Structure 1
């Protein structure tokens, strides 16, 4: 069993924001696989089969800073080990249009990942960072991540979400190393 958790904030006002890159990727994956989310584990959950293995998709509805609670609840209930968890989230240290897949690591200042590390008790879970770039002069970080993507960024976002779907699908089929080689560019 595997868990793919996309991070974001619930509510319409956050739906298309940079901080919701994880939700956006899971929404695209669910649409491609024709899956519906249902409320459970303080989040929205969908399930599917990938590579002969059950995979849960989770969008925590706890707000970003408490995302780990929802992830821990689902993982504990289904007895999913941290090495079988993938967390998808936004990263300001990557330019928009870039992905970075890692099998472990620190929170790097991301509150959703800090919460996940605290709740799981380990840094040893997979993560897919979706680059959103840094704010330009005059923008503070909090305002930037809660802003919508610009019209110019949308085609780049669409392309990177498509690559992200391919990366998480390959990972779910037990080929995380191949996914890193293909998509960490």
Structure 2
């Protein structure tokens, strides 16, 4: 069985360690813990590994967040991965910082990456791992907040929460979305 895990983020040093790139942070941790490296391929950086007889593809799109659907769709088609085996890791302003939730469908909630995926796939019925970045910004400052760097305190806590996100990805690939939501969404 094949699984495609897509971490949303923007390429370029100026976006490293920003809230909008938490999808990249999660995938980087998974790659490191599985001793695999990302290689530049079409539409993104890809790392591959096996986990409990499953082939897992990690994708960090190089299309920028707003065009993530193009990269996701390309790799789904190329590797013949069904939508049920796709998981998108995304930052979420609506969740408190560090909260991690798995959903199997839903709207884009104003997130341009999810909107791109929804428009490309023609459905909102795909799994996403929502990683809470909080909403501690004043009116009109949302873009600055999302593209802003983590505070030292947030960064320290982020590393702990990324471990939980990695556990959710493993569970998604082994026990499925339903059981994973039951096991992790109330923690």
Structure-2 separation of matches of 1:9 and 1:38: 16
CA apart distance, 1:139 = 6.1
Shift of residue 77, structure 1, vs aligned partner: 0.8
SS at match of 2:81: coil
Residue 97 (structure 1) aligned with residue 98 (structure 2): yes
**Helix, strand or coil: the match of 2:153?**
coil
Aligned residues: 185
Structure 1 residues without counterparts, runs of 5 or longer = none
Deviation at 1:120, TM superposition (A): 1.6
Separation in structure 1 between the aligned mates of residue 73 and residue 130 of structure 2, nearest angstrom? 20
Q: CA RMSD in A?
A: 1.2
- Paired residue for 1:43? 44
**1: CA distance between counterparts of 2:122 and 2:54?**
25
Q: Would you say the 8 A contact 1:6–1:26 is kept in 2?
A: yes
Long gaps (5+) in structure 2: none
1:27-71 deviation per Cα after TM superposition (whole angstroms, max 9, x unaligned): 000000011111123100011112211110000011110011111
CA distance in 2, matches of 1:96, 1:178: 24
Specify the SS of the correspondent of 1:129: strand
Structure 1 SS opposite 2:179: helix
Structure 1 residue 23: Cα displacement: 0.2
What is residue 60 of structure 1 aligned with on the other side? 61
In 1, Cα distance between the equivalents of 2:139 and 2:81? 43
Quick one: distance in 2 between partners of 1:24 and 1:91? 14
